[in-house]
Amino acid sequence: MGCQERIKLVSVIICLTIVIWFLHNWLYLTFQFKTYITHVPVNNRLKKNEAWIITSISSRPHQIQDLEQRTDWSVLILNSTNMCRPFASSTLEDLILKAIKNGARYMYLSSHLNNKTTSILNRFYYHKYMTGLRYNGTMNFTLLSYYRGLPNLSAKGNTSSYSYELGVWKTALLQKVLGPTDISNGKDSIDYRAPQILLPFNTMEPMLKDNVLFQYEAFWAIVPLQTNQRLWSLWVQRLLQEIGNSVSFIVSKDNDKQSGCKALKESTRVITAVNGWKCSRRSTFFSCVISLSDFMVDKKMMPRSEYRSIVRWLEILQKHGYSQPELVDKATGRYSLEPAHRILFYPSIKKAYASRNFTFMCTKGLGKCLKPLGLQKSKVINNILLVIVFNRAGHYGSLEYFEKIYRPAFRHILYCGQDNQTFVEGYNQLKYPVSYVGMSSSFINGQLGYQCLHKAMLMHYDVDGYFHVGDDVLLNVWNLHDLPTDQIWFQERMRVANVSQPTVPDIWKHENWWPWNGDTGRFAQERAMNTLQNLSTREDLVATFLDQLAENAGGERKVFYESSDIFYIPQRFVSQFIYLVNVFTDQLVHIEITVPTIINGLSKQSNIVRLKGSYLWYEERVKYRETFNHSNVFLHPVKMDPCLENQTCVTFLCEKYLPCL
């Protein structure tokens, strides 16, 4: 063959290739975009919106309508009948581009909307930053062991096995809801109310591509690898690391029938392989996406065709004006943006519940409960978090007693106080691990006791509310069941003071309540109120707060003060509470001003539930036996650690209180 002929032949081949390629693309696109344009946006209206849900036709129309009416979310429906891989459909691309064109900042992929979807949407973080737990302990972390108890009880003696960082992180670009379909076995032993969790930095877990919230910077990840979800989840998690991000997880007991789809297995081999990749050409983020995909083709994890689809999809995205995330130094994802707090966490798993066996202290047995007729027996309260606050260090010797009293009544308990060392001594006497937040000396013996609830809220449990109970409160748990969990609870009294009043009367009989003129009193409170006054010009939350406070107090520049050893904040006030507590913490304001003042700015006073109970002061403290009343909710103070050392006190508990539990 001559040289010219060869050139001709090559030209013909090139031409043919080009023609075939165009033909293929034309057929492909026609097939893809013409035949399957079957998705119909609900009500056929596409408005500009930040928040989009993509669901499949297995969602009931009434659920979709309900959601669109009651929330700000717009819904797009994918015509996919593939139960186990609901988002494996070529029309997915089209829906995503539509949402992007209409201003999407968040997309929630959920194949099956139901009456829990709204509450799940409310649990996600939408701001730039999130707070939450990240495992920082010494064991190998897995999600399932987190929800079931990590690690097993044999590691109980070493608290570092249960150690987490409570920090402020850049919000996870993927927030995944684990449901029964994600969990292969042991669904019943899961703590469905455990706090949201971030994986330890540089680790990954396989997950299904369903019930995931994507932030704008992760929209590139929605479409690829539709048919291999395990591979998809490792691919996306490895790439998130390149932008200093990771996935966060919540767990939800779905109320739908089991779909029969297989949960993903752990896949150490693939994880190890993916971990072996380095983004060598770190010019743009998309070049890293292409590099990892190429690497996975080389390692025979994915076919070349997937690689081509990914490249094509990235091009389409860019053509439609999507801007890819910026590469950052990978290590930025590792550290909390504010100093992290070390937390011990252990989920509430059933086998660990203590029994109500008081033979260790009531050697003569229990008395007979003299509860008036009509009072209920204690039931299990599993929708609120009980936070037991030790205002002074060194009273943790009674942990076992608290476990016996409270664990059968409350599934979710968090201990909080100063002095980690003595906590561990009490902890070591228990048979199972418990959750604990340690406070520094800035806790000032409980004068800043509201920090405990604050920390608990930052952990982000899935509960209806947070219940602060001091370790010197004798709680009649049998009277708690009918209390509304969506309202604030406080004691019956609440007194008002002018912000600049020189002295205020004691909670007991004295003219002068000593904390008012102490470091955490009048001047601290005045500084906090001035800060709020300033903030109110630009923060609606604060303006509303000050208005409500003035209404409840009967005038402006007034605060409340009262003993605050027992109070409850429902979930719906959590974000305001966190915001306001930060202001009072900055000025070191006493708990007995902070709590009654904050709650009176959050809710009309008539909507605050008043708990019946007795407070005993000074020399009246010894009268606890006469004052105890089965019909009340609480009695304060009965400090447990000294009480358990005193035979008179123990006899009182064994005869009057314990038999009623």
Ligand X SMILES: *[C@@H]1O[C@H](CO)[C@@H](O)[C@H](O)[C@H]1NC(C)=O
Contacts with ligand X, residue ranges (CB under 6 A): 38, 57, 79, 114-115, 136, 138-140, 151-152, 154, 158, 160, 165, 255, 340-342, 344, 357, 359-360, 420, 436, 438, 440, 498, 501, 527, 530-531, 534, 612, 622, 629, 631-632, 646, 648-649
Spatial distance between the Cα atoms of 363 and 568, rounded to a whole number of angstroms: 35
| Residue whose CB is nearest to ligand X in the complex, by number | 438
Spatial distance between the Cα atoms of 515 and 504, rounded to a whole number of angstroms: 10
Pairing mode of beta strands 410-418, 381-390: parallel
Residue 175, SS3 per DSSP = strand
- CB nearer to ligand X: pick between 46 and 649: 649
Sole residue written with tokens 């044999």: 154
Q: Which residue type occupies 528?
A: A
- CB nearer to ligand X: pick between 404 and 411: 404
Q: What would the two tokens of residue 118 be? A: 């709204």
Contacts of 383 (CB under 8 A, 6+ apart): 193, 463, 464, 485
Eight-class DSSP state of 326: P
Give the alpha-carbon dihedral of 235, 240, 241, 245, to 10 degrees. Answer: -150
- CB nearer to ligand X: pick between 65 and 646: 646
* CB neighbour class for 49 (10 Å; exposed up to 12, middle 13-18, buried from 19): middle
- CB nearer to ligand X: pick between 49 and 498: 498
- CB nearer to ligand X: pick between 38 and 332: 38
Alpha helices in 302-432 (DSSP H): 304-319, 399-406, 420-427
What one-character-per-residue DSSP string does 442-492 give? GGGGGTTTTHHHHHHHHHT-S-SEEEEEETT-EE-GGG-TTS-TTS-EEES
- CB nearer to ligand X: pick between 283 and 582: 582
Spatial distance between the Cα atoms of 559 and 579, rounded to a whole number of angstroms: 17
Q: How far is CA 194 from CA 145, 257, 412, in A?
A: 12, 23, 9
Residue 157: CB minimum distance to ligand X, A: 7
Q: What are phi and psi of 110, to 5 degrees?
A: -150, 115
- CB nearer to ligand X: pick between 511 and 540: 511
Give the alpha-carbon dihedral of 277, 332, 217, 238, to 10 degrees. Answer: 20
Residue 290: CB minimum distance to ligand X, A: 30
- CB nearer to ligand X: pick between 220 and 652: 652
- CB nearer to ligand X: pick between 217 and 403: 403
Residue 79: CB minimum distance to ligand X, A: 4
Contacts of 436 (CB under 8 A, 6+ apart): 343, 344, 414, 415, 416, 423, 427
With CA atoms as reference, report the closest residue to 167 among 347, 403, 333, 397: 333
- CB nearer to ligand X: pick between 316 and 340: 340
Residue 500: CB minimum distance to ligand X, A: 8
With CA atoms as reference, report the closest residue to 459 among 403, 506, 423, 416: 416
Residue 163: CB minimum distance to ligand X, A: 6
Residue 165: CB minimum distance to ligand X, A: 4
- To which H or E segment does residue 389 belong? strand 381-390
Helix/strand/coil percentages in the chain, nearest 5: 40, 15, 40
Residue 133: CB minimum distance to ligand X, A: 11
Residue 232: CB minimum distance to ligand X, A: 23
Residue 51: CB minimum distance to ligand X, A: 22
Answer whether 616's CB lies under 8 Å from 636's CB. yes
- CB nearer to ligand X: pick between 2 and 339: 339
Residue 68: CB minimum distance to ligand X, A: 17
- CB nearer to ligand X: pick between 112 and 411: 112
Residue 126: CB minimum distance to ligand X, A: 24
- CB nearer to ligand X: pick between 291 and 627: 627
Q: Which residue type occupies 108?
A: Y
Q: What would the two tokens of residue 170 be? A: 């850049």
- CB nearer to ligand X: pick between 5 and 619: 619
Q: What would the two tokens of residue 168 be? A: 């402020």
What is the sign, positive or negative, of the torsion defined by CA atoms of 4, 9, 13, 15? positive
Give the alpha-carbon dihedral of 482, 483, 485, 490, to 10 degrees. Answer: -170
Answer whether 225's CB lies under 8 Å from 232's CB. yes
- CB nearer to ligand X: pick between 391 and 603: 391
User: Cβ atoms within 10 A of the Cβ of 68, count?
Assistant: 16
Residue 419: CB minimum distance to ligand X, A: 8
User: Cβ atoms within 10 A of the Cβ of 17, count?
Assistant: 10
Spatial distance between the Cα atoms of 484 and 610, rounded to a whole number of angstroms: 11
Residue 418: CB minimum distance to ligand X, A: 8
Residue 467: CB minimum distance to ligand X, A: 20
Spatial distance between the Cα atoms of 449 and 567, rounded to a whole number of angstroms: 11
Residue 320: CB minimum distance to ligand X, A: 24
